[in-house]
Each structure stands twice: as C-alpha cells, then as structure tokens.
Amino acid sequence: MNDDELLKLFRDVESDRVERKESLSDPSKAYQAICAFANDLPNHQQPGVLFYGIKDDGTCTNTVINDKLLLELAQMRDNGRILPIPSLTVQKKVLDGCEVAVVIVEPSDAPPVRYDGRVWVRVGPRRAMATPQEERRLSEKRRSRDLPFDASLVRGATLDDLDRSVFHEYLTAALDPDVLAENQRTYEERLASLRFASLDGVPTITGILVCGIDPRAFLPGAYVQFIRFDGAELDAPIINQMEFSGPLSQCLRNLNTALATNITTSLSITQEATDTRYPDYPVKALQQLVYNAVMHRAYEGTNAPVRINWFTDRVEILSPGGPYGLVTIENFGQPGITDYRNPSIAEAMKNVGFIQRFGVGIQVARRALEQNGNPPLEFNIQPTHVLATLRRRS
C-alpha cells in the first residue's frame, strides 16, 4: 500500500477499512481490530488499516510515535494471541502533517481468524464478535480457496446410492457419442473423471445431487419447495403446495412444468382483429432465476430448500446462502461479476442444457421481464440468503 492510498484512507472518516486510535491505552482493542481486518467479513479483498495518534474525527493528537509503540504493535503478530498468524506491517508515517503509527493488516487466506479464541469481524463502522452464521461464512471463504464443497466426498455413501441409468443419461447429454464410443473407461473411472465419485468409490456432493437415488438422504435441503397462495401474504390460503427433489435433471424438468402450468396468459385483441397473448410472468425469467437459485445456493450449514412462493401479485424465489467469492452485497447482479460456490454443479447444469452461458442469467431474466411489460426485477441480498422478487404484469 503506497502513501497515496494511505493518505486517502487517512482522510476518509467513513471507510470501514479504517480504525483510528488516539493511543495504545487498551491493547485489546488493537488485537480485536487486527483480527477483524484479517477476517475481512465484508470481502473487500483489500487491507485494513489502524492509525495510532489520530482521533475519530480525523484530527491529530500529537502522540509521540516512538520505537516502543511500534515494537508493541509489531509483536501482536507473533505472540500467539491471534491465530492463524495475521499478515501485517507496522510503519511510522507523517500524513497531512500528523505523525502516526500505521498498522496495515492483509486479509487472511485461512479465516476464521481468532483473538484469544474469539472471532472478531467488522460490521459497518464497528467491531463485533462474529455470530455462528458469520463464522460459517468465514469458513466458506477459506474453502473457496481450497476444494469446493460440491467436490467433497459424502462419507457413508457408496456407489449403490447412485442411479446408473441416470448417470448414463447424463453421459449421453454431456459427452459426444463418438467420445463415449471410443472411451473404454469403467463405470467407476467415468464417475471419477466427472468428479462424481472418488476412485475408491465414495460419491461426491455433485454425484449425489446429479445422479443420486435419494439426494435428500444425505443433503436434507436438496429440494425445491413450491407454494401458491390465494393472496399477497404468507398467511393467505394455500392453493397448491409441491416439493421437487430427486436427481438434478429430474427435479428441474418437473419444476419447469410446474412453472409453466401456473402462468396465466391474457388475450388482447386489437382493432385489426389480431390477438396478442401476455403471460403474467415470462417463463424464461422464472426459469433463469430458479436455475440460479439451485446452482448458487449453499448446501452446507443449512437444511433449508430453495423456496418459490407464488402470490397473487408477485413471485418470490429464495436461495439459501448469501453472495460468494468475488460477488458481494454491493456488486450483486452487475454484469461480468460472478463466482461459483458449486462449480461442479454449475458444470453439470450446463452439460444437460439448463444453462447455456454462465454469468448472464440475471440479465436474461431482466430483459424477459422488460419485454413482457413486468416491473423491474427486485433483489434483497443478505449474508444468509438471496431473495428475488418478480412483480406480476399489470
């Protein structure tokens, strides 16, 4: 981090990447701040900075920045109270005429980071101890740099828990017939090559979801719940309620049928006696958002299903799990910003034709809604879930 970047943060009293202290009178606050910046819960993917010798309003305290203070700050890295050991640098700087100690803390590659056994995070402008859900999010950040969850093995499952006929159907859809004809691999080798199982016969999460006989036996939340209400609130009478589960392709095909069945189409006849049909929702928009919900959802740490609540004035599609990786609450839905919590599941959905191109589902849904005359697509993005709302065409 160069001096220009430091000066910009020094002057920005609103940034949640900065903490200001007049002195080191309470070292525990420094430990907590270092821990919180190392965890980088907001996923800035940029360093956090502590300035010593400055007030919260940005005015200088004229604190003497000596070697004793700099050494005490530097020792916080290696004394074992913050684990895993954080990556930080300590410097003495003069910024806007103010002499300050600067502690630059890099985001950790192995969150959650703990200070004296407790996980600290930044929540907007303040520090706080992490909730269990926030700790799970930090653990997920660590795994995103290692093996994806959908590629992990399902202990207790065997190849007998996979449907061979469904796997054969997947192979014929995913691979060219000539390639299959030339390929002399065994069933077990083919499963392993597609990351559906290990070579010693243990299915992966993807294998169970794509061709498992009963995915919910191992992943209780692996289904889609559909409820149609006769009203605009959750306490309205229920017209229809369904659950869609089983192997991924079967689940999505049945769900597509239900979506199409529940769409109402109105007929408009012009003076020229030509008729135009207007669905209350374009099926393409519904499909894209449901596919996104299934593909990007979190399966770990929750037993919740993907939920589709169909009200008289709107359709709500809720996906368990908040933004992941490069995607944040702030940049969610922006073209070109995408990441994959479940890359093998995404690959499988593309191979069987539910996804044509990655990273464009939201744009396709927005365009379909606009062309059909529906109000704009709405999102409520939270750390624990993503809620998409489609408003009915007037």
pLDDT of res. 43: 87
**Candidate from 18-32, 72-86, 368-382 with smallest mean pLDDT:** 72-86
Q: Which residues contact 267 (CB under 8 A, 6 or more apart)?
A: 275, 276, 277, 278
CA distance 83 to 85: 5
Q: How confident is the model at residue 269 (pLDDT cuts 50, 70, 90)?
A: low
Give strand pairing partners of 267.
277
For the stretch 180-190, pLDDT in tens is 676 677 889 88
Q: How confident is the model at residue 387 (pLDDT cuts 50, 70, 90)?
A: very high
* Greater model confidence, 212 or 13: 212
* Alpha-helix runs per DSSP H in 307-342: none
CA distance 131 to 152: 25
pLDDT of res. 237: 97
For the stretch 206-227, pLDDT in tens is 999 999 999 999 999 999 999 9
Residue 146 has pLDDT above 80, yes or no: no
Q: How many CA atoms lie within 13 A of 119 on its CB side?
A: 20
Residue 163 has pLDDT above 80, yes or no: yes
Q: Which residues contact 266 (CB under 8 A, 6 or more apart)?
A: 277, 278, 279, 280
CA distance 289 to 355: 11
For residue 141, the surrounding DSSP H or E stretch is helix 132-144
Which residues of the chain are in CATH 3.30.950 domains? 3-144
For residue 244, the surrounding DSSP H or E stretch is strand 238-244
The whole-chain average pLDDT of the chain stands at 90
Mean pLDDT of the region 328-350:
89
pLDDT of res. 271: 58
Q: How many CA atoms lie within 13 A of 217 on its CB side?
A: 13
For the stretch 84-135, pLDDT in tens is 888 999 999 999 899 999 999 999 887 888 998 889 999 877 889 988 778 8
Among positive and negative, which fits the CA dihedral 206, 211, 213, 216? positive
CATH architecture of 224-391: 2-Layer Sandwich (3.30)
pLDDT of res. 143: 64
* CATH T-level assignment (fold) for domain 3-144: 3.30.950
Give strand pairing partners of 113.
none
Residue 49 near residue 102, CB atoms below 8 Å? yes
Mean pLDDT of the region 237-243:
97
CA distance 269 to 258: 28
Residue 14 has pLDDT above 80, yes or no: no
Residue 179 has pLDDT above 70, yes or no: no
Which residues of the chain are in CATH 3.30.565.60 domains? 224-391
Residue 33 φ then ψ, to 5°: -65, -45
Highest mean pLDDT among 54-58, 338-342, 353-357, 368-372: 368-372
pLDDT of res. 183: 67
Per cent of the chain over pLDDT 70 is 95
* Greater model confidence, 375 or 13: 375
For the stretch 72-88, pLDDT in tens is 999 998 888 888 888 99
pLDDT of res. 371: 95
Between the CA of residue 219 and those of 13, 150, 305, 323, 335, what are the distances in Å? Answer: 45, 11, 10, 21, 32
Q: How confident is the model at residue 145 (pLDDT cuts 50, 70, 90)?
A: low
Residue found under tokens 């992966």: 204
Query: What torsion do the CA atoms of 32, 38, 41, 47 make, to the nearest 10 degrees?
Result: 120
Residue 77 near residue 86, CB atoms below 8 Å? yes
* Greater model confidence, 375 or 15: 375
* Greater model confidence, 137 or 288: 288
